[in-house]
């Protein structure tokens, strides 16, 4: 599916969708419990994949009036009757690998072509350390994965610079093992706020876990049980970043983004990043409302070590700002749905941006860029599609984006929200 965005102005109010990261963890935590009502979840292609995995392990799920009613498997997942298809959701595959390692038998996990190219080797090795067996069918650490359990728990060492989701998977599963799990990090942890999200969800479900000097630890023999049997998902700052960027670049008056209450999400950093670039922005945290106006932006240097999902948004902001924007600590951003460093460099260049790519950083020279509408490829990546749509708001002429349907992964109503703000969008 294609989306065409024409240079236009935006104004008004939009709501950030619920957090994808929190929804994944809440659904799986409800599965580890006897069950729970997950309120205000993000219902998207990715989170549906996690819900299907809960079903496969012997639970059940049903959507009711915008909520998700989950019947859990009580910390003891069944051996699935069939292969678990994680579709395009790397979060699902990594988090569910831990659950699969608890089942007394063999679980096979696969996904689409993009997901089958993403690395899982350190997590597979960790399952082996904890008493199970896990392997890649092709011997390259990539899906399809075969996982044999049950694990008993114990200590394992993994690198922290590939994916924080490995840590999340082991902590969530480790809470219901006999011995608990201690994860020692052999390299600096990238995307650490995502583990903070995990600790936040575990705490809400009554599970104790802790950060240690060199890693994390979760005691075993625990029970998942949320207060009053339910959990409410906060708004998503990764998705809100596109609406805020649209306001900073193309607002006619103000753009107000609702549903942005404080949480453990590292991507809330977009508010400070926009302020540092010179945007007129105000976050009323208690109300969950962020107001942003079109502003003259200046380039900045930003590390995305902890906020990899913001790279596409920052790159677009940099292309429309004066001066140079340098996005550093970005090597791990290459292991997402696509290599987002190269993909953003290539697609923005096709729109007239001056972009320089390095192994671990992306440099965008806004002062040397003159954005023009072009035919661009979203590369099957929801975040590229949304970022390029924002770029289209300030590019001369029309920008046509291939693969627009992939916004269903995290922000199914994205183009409706953009249209509601007054953007010239045709899908």
* Residue 395 structure tokens: 């590019």
- On the 0-12 / 13-18 / 19+ scale of CB atoms within 10 A, 53 is buried
Domains 2-17+235-426 and 20-232 are alike in CATH topology: yes
Please name the fold of domain 20-232: UDP-n-acetylglucosamine1-carboxyvinyl-transferase; Chain (3.65.10)
Query: What residues form the annotated binding site for phosphoenolpyruvate?
Result: 20, 90, 118, 165, 340, 383
Catalytic center residues: 309
User: 85 and 96 in contact (C-beta within 8 Å)?
Assistant: no
Residue 337 confidence (pLDDT): 86
Taking the chain (427 residues) in runs of 10, the rounded mean pLDDT of each run is 98 96 98 97 96 98 94 97 97 98 98 95 98 98 98 97 96 98 96 96 98 96 97 96 98 97 95 98 97 98 96 98 98 92 98 97 97 97 98 98 96 97 97
For 175, 333, 334, the CA distances from 337, given in Å and listed in that order, are 29, 9, 9
Domain spans in the chain, listed from the N-terminal domain onward: 2-17+235-426, 20-232
Coil, helix or strand at residue 282:
strand
Long-range contacts formed by 60-64: CB under 8 A, 24+ apart: 61/27
Query: For the domain with range 2-17+235-426, which CATH number is right: 3.30.830.10, 3.40.50.2300, 3.40.50.2000, 3.65.10.10?
Result: 3.65.10.10
Query: What residues form the annotated binding site for 3-phosphoshikimate?
Result: 20-21, 25, 163-165, 191, 309, 336
């Amino acid at each position: 599916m294609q989306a065409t965005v024409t240079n236009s102005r935006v104004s008004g109010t939009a709501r950030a969708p619920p957090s994808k990261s929190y929804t994944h963890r809440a659904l799986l935590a409800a599965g580890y419990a006897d069950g729970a009502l997950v309120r205000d979840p993000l219902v998207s292609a990715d989170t549906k994949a996690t819900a299907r995995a809960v079903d496969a392990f012997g639970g059940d799920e049903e959507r009711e009036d915008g909520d998700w009613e989950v019947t859990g498997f009580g910390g003891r997942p069944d051996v699935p009757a069939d292969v678990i298809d994680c579709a395009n959701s790397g979060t699902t595959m990594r988090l569910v690998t831990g659950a699969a390692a608890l089942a007394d038998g063999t679980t096979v996990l696969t996904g689409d072509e993009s997901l089958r190219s993403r690395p899982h080797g350190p997590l597979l090795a960790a399952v082996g350390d904890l008493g199970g067996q896990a392997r890649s069918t092709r011997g390259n650490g990539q899906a399809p994965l075969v996982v044999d359990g049950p694990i008993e728990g114990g200590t394992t060492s993994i690198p922290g610079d590939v994916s924080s989701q490995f840590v999340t998977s082991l902590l969530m599963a480790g809470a219901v093992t006999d011995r608990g799990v201690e994860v020692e990090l052999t390299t600096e942890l990238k995307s650490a706020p995502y583990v903070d999200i995990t600790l936040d969800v575990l705490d809400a479900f009554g599970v104790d876990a802790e950060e240690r000097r060199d890693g994390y630890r979760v005691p075993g023999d625990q029970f998942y049980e949320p207060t009053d049997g339910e959990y409410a998902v906060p708004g998503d700052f990764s998705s809100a970043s596109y609406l805020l960027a649209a306001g900073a670049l193309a607002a006619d008056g103000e753009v107000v983004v609702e549903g942005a209450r404080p949480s453990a999400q590292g991507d809330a950093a977009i508010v400070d990043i926009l302020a540092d670039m010179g945007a007129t922005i105000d976050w009323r945290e208690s109300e969950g409302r962020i107001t942003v106006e079109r502003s003259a932006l200046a380039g900045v240097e930003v590390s995305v070590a902890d906020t990899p999902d913001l790279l596409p948004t920052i790159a677009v902001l940099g292309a429309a700002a004066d001066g140079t924007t340098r996005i550093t600590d970005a090597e791990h951003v290459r292991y997402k749905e696509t290599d987002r460093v190269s993909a953003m460099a290539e697609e923005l260049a096709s729109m007239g941006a001056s972009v320089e790519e390095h192994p671990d950083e992306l440099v965008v020279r806004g002062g040397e860029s003159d954005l023009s509408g072009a035919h661009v490829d979203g590369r099957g990546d929801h975040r590229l599609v949304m970022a390029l749509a924002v770029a289209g708001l300030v590019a001369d002429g029309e920008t046509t984006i291939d693969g627009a349907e992939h916004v269903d992964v995290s922000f199914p109503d994205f183009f409706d929200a953009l249209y509601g703000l007054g953007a010239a969008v045709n899908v």
